[in-house]
Amino acid sequence: MTMLEISDLVAEWDPVTGQRVRIRRDDVVARLCAAGDERAARIVRRMPVAGGFLDPVAVDRLLVRVHTELQRLNEELHMARRFAEILVPMLTAARVTGNRPRVVDIGCGLGFLVRSLAASGSLGAAVDLVGVDLNRALVAEATRLAEDEGLPCSFVCADAFALTEPATVYLSSGVLHHFPAERLAGFFRAQDRPGTQAFVHYDIAATRLAPFGAWLFHRARMREPLGRHDGVMSARRAHSDQVLLSAAAHATGMETFLFEPPRHTNPLCAAMRPVLGVRPELTGEFRRAMGRRARGLVPARTRAG
C-alpha cells in the first residue's frame, strides 16, 4: 500500500515560480482511494471546494490549525532543546571559520524551532535564524508570531537551497519522511555547498513501536482528523537508520552520523533521532564541544558495516 499524507496532497507550490498550484479535490480523493486509504479520502471529501478545486483559503486555515496542534507535540518532546544540544557545539565548531553563522530551518512550517531557539537565546546573539517553507500561509503565520513576541528571527517563502545567502547549518524536523527514499540523496547532496558547514535533520525513528506511539500521541494531543491521520502515516513512512545514512553519504564533503539512534539507546526515549553531517575539518572541534554527548554519535561507516 502506498502511504500518503493528506497535507502533501492538498497544497502544492510550483518550485520555480512559487505560485500555488490549483488542486482538484476529486484527484486527491482518487489518489487516496487508489492507495487504499478510505479514511483519508473521507477527510478530503469534507474539505470545501470552489468549482471542483480545493478552496486554498480553507486549506491554509486547516494547515495552520494542524501545525499549531503539531507544535504542542514538539514542545512536549523538547525538540528545541534537542536541537540546541547539537547546534551549540556545531556552531562552536563553525565559528572557527570566522563568519557569522546562519541557521536555516528547511520546511519550517510555523517556525516553532527557529522561534523557540530565538526565544531561549541558547545559540547566543551572534547567529542568524531563518525559517524557510514553500507554504506562504505558514510562513506568514510564523512571521506574525515572531513579530508578536519580538523574536530575533526571520521567515522566507522560498526553496531553502535557492536563497541568496548560504546557510552555515541546515536543519529540519519531521521533514525527511516526506521525501521518497530515492529523492533523499538529492536532498543531502544539495547541502554540500560552499559556506555550509553542517546539517542536522531530526525525523521519526523507524521502530516497530513508532506507528502505535504516533497513533496514541496524536489521538491524545491532536483534534484535527487530518493531523491524526498524517501523524500515524509519518511514522509508517519513516526511513530506517540505514536508508538515512546511505542517503546522507551523498553529501560527500561531510562526515555523517546518527545521534543516539534507537539501537544505541532506550527506543522509547528515541522517538525522534537526527542524522547529522559536519565538514571533516570541523569534526574534531564538534566532538570536543559535544563533550560526553559525543559518545552518542554513530558514524556512517559503523552502521553501514
Partner 1 sequence: MAATVPVLLGLLALIDGGFAGFRAATGRNARIRKRRYYLLAARRGYGVGAAGLGFVALLVATALAVSADPVPRYAELVRAGIRLLQILLPFAALVVLSLLGYWLLPMRESTFVILVGLGPFTLLRPAVVLGATAWSVLGSTDWLVWAGEVTAAVSLLAVEPVVHRRWYRAPA
Binding site for partner 1 (CB under 8 A): 64-65, 67-69, 71-72, 76-78, 81-82, 85, 110, 112, 115-116, 119, 141, 145, 148-149, 151, 213, 216-217, 219-223, 265-266, 268-269, 271
To the nearest whole angstrom, how small is the minimum distance from the Cβ of residue 18 to partner 1? 23
Residue closer to partner 1, measured from CB, 72 or 301: 72
Residue closer to partner 1, measured from CB, 82 or 95: 82
Residue closer to partner 1, measured from CB, 29 or 139: 139
To the nearest whole angstrom, how small is the minimum distance from the Cβ of residue 75 to partner 1? 9
Residue closer to partner 1, measured from CB, 5 or 141: 141
To the nearest whole angstrom, how small is the minimum distance from the Cβ of residue 234 to partner 1? 16
Report the residue count for the chain. 305
Single out the residue of 245, 242, 265 nearest to residue 255, CA to CA: 245
Cα 205-218-129 angle, rounded to 5 deg: 65
Residue closer to partner 1, measured from CB, 148 or 182: 148
- At residue 35, the 3 state secondary structure works out as coil
- At residue 273, the 3 state secondary structure works out as strand
Run of H or E including 168: none
Run of H or E including 276: strand 272-278
Residue closer to partner 1, measured from CB, 84 or 160: 84
Single out the residue of 175, 109, 170 nearest to residue 142, CA to CA: 109
To the nearest whole angstrom, how small is the minimum distance from the Cβ of residue 156 to partner 1? 18
> Sheet harboring 198-204: ordered strands across?
154-157, 128-133, 102-106, 169-173, 198-204, 272-278, 255-259, 297-299
Residue closer to partner 1, measured from CB, 112 or 257: 112
To the nearest whole angstrom, how small is the minimum distance from the Cβ of residue 271 to partner 1? 6
Instruction: Quote the CA–CA distance of 69 and 75 in Å, as a whole number.
Output: 10
Contact between 290 and 297 (Cβ < 8 Å): yes
Helix axes 56-76, 210-221, angle to 10 degrees: 110
To the nearest whole angstrom, how small is the minimum distance from the Cβ of residue 72 to partner 1? 5
Run of H or E including 188: helix 181-189
Residue closer to partner 1, measured from CB, 121 or 195: 121
To the nearest whole angstrom, how small is the minimum distance from the Cβ of residue 272 to partner 1? 9
Residue closer to partner 1, measured from CB, 101 or 213: 213
Torsion of CA 6, 240, 74, 116, to 10 degrees: -110
To the nearest whole angstrom, how small is the minimum distance from the Cβ of residue 122 to partner 1? 12
Instruction: Quote the CA–CA distance of 191 and 248 in Å, as a whole number.
Output: 10
Instruction: Quote the CA–CA distance of 198 and 151 in Å, as a whole number.
Output: 24
To the nearest whole angstrom, how small is the minimum distance from the Cβ of residue 239 to partner 1? 21
